[in-house]
Structure 1
Amino acid sequence: MFDSLTGNGRVWIFASNRKLNESEKEFINEKFDVFCKDWSAHGSQLKASFQIFDNQILVLGADEDFEPASGCSIDRSTAIFQEIDQTLKIDLFNRLNLVFKENSEIVIVRMADIQSAYDSQKISDSSTFFDNSVNTLLDIRTRWEVPFNESWAYAKIKINA
């Protein structure tokens, strides 16, 4: 994951509320190919990479050992995500949508619905939980995907004994 980026990198993670089709993924990848080649902070080129995971999770990474991202450069990246969000009519900015993988499929659960999703076995203790709040390369490599019962979100449910 992000093999071209090393050291103290940062990541920005946005999960779509639905699976992306091939033409949408192509559109997004083309946008970020151009963006990553031109992305700069205070006139200095940033070393960046972009990937789509599981046809639904968009991740932009920057190697901050090479050149740190600035507020203005981060604003430019956010503008690209907003453009994609609006053009494709997807929801990338709802941070109350939690992302799980159950039986190799991405499952989006609204925070308010986490208990009912658990009770109905839409998600389980062993479901993979994507902690999209991580913001470093180290964290995305080591603690982005964790079993649900080892995540911060697990504290949101009540176990019926």
Structure 2
Amino acid sequence: MSTQTTLSTATLPDSARCWVYQAATEIPEALVPAIEEALRAYTSHWESHGSILPAGAEILHNRFVLIAVDPRGDSVCGRSVDASVRLMRDLSERFGVDFFDRMQLAYLKDGEVRAAHKDEFAALYAAGEIGDDTLVFDNMVQTLGDWRKNWLKPLKESWMYRMIAD
């Protein structure tokens, strides 16, 4: 049985499934090694349908956790996906970092990741704090290829734009 010992998703193909978890606040630097170790332990033994699959995870901008798995032409079983969600819930509880506040929308401003509640987004737009070309993080991506090409995109090209255009 082979295992993956790296966290990197760089070697996984564009077809790999992925999930992006956004922390409600920046992940403290002191917690990063412990979270990385938990992610490494999980992804090095990602099992689906009785097989170990290539998987990886990364902490990005100290704000996001990217988890990816290459199903190698098969589907990833629901049980293994559920286990990855349980892992993230456990990390949330253990380290006090909320990875499940789906109402926070993240964007780049002056090279810094910022987040606002979805209800505040239209007000930020109206005030000029964010604009059509503000880069936003689309955590709804489902494959690594989509993440590589479309995770960070201008607001006007994202699903979030509908919330402010109305």
State how far apart, in whole Å, the 2-side matches of 1:2 and 1:35 are: 14
1:7, CA displacement in angstroms?
4.5
One-letter identity of the residue aligned with 1:8: S
Structure 1 counterpart of 2:128, from 117, 121, 131? 121
1:148 aligns with 2:155: yes
Q: How does 1:73-92 map to 2 (within 5 A)?
A: 73-92=80-99
State how far apart, in whole Å, the 2-side matches of 1:14 and 1:108 are: 13
User: Which residue of structure 1 lines up, in the alignment, with residue 60 of structure 2?
Assistant: 53
Contact 1:44 1:67 in 2 (8 A): no
Q: Deviations over 1:118-147 (max 9, x none)?
A: 233332222211110111111101111101
Q: How does 1:23-102 map to 2 (within 5 A)?
A: 23-65=30-72, 68-102=75-109
Q: CA RMSD in A?
A: 1.7
One-letter identity of the residue aligned with 2:61: D
State how far apart, in whole Å, the 1-side matches of 2:110 and 2:125 are: 14
1:50, CA displacement in angstroms?
0.4
One-letter identity of the residue aligned with 1:82: R
SS in 2 for 1:122: coil
State how far apart, in whole Å, the 1-side matches of 2:95 and 2:128 are: 31
Q: Deviations over 1:25-83 (max 9, x none)?
A: 11110001111111201221011010111110110001122654210101111111001
TM-score by length of structure 1 reads 0.91
Structure 2 counterpart of 1:2, from 9, 20, 24? 9
User: Which residue of structure 2 lines up, in the alignment, with residue 104 of structure 1?
Assistant: 111
TM-score by length of structure 2 reads 0.88
Contact 1:46 1:69 in 2 (8 A): no
Structure 2 gaps, min length 5: 1-7
Contact 1:16 1:92 in 2 (8 A): yes
Structure 1 gaps, min length 5: none
One-letter identity of the residue aligned with 1:112: D
State how far apart, in whole Å, the 1-side matches of 2:62 and 2:127 are: 25
* Superposition misfits of 4+ residues, deviation over 3 angstroms: none
One-letter identity of the residue aligned with 1:114: F
Identical aligned residues as a percent? 26
One-letter identity of the residue aligned with 1:48: A
Structure 1 counterpart of 2:19, from 8, 12, 26? 12
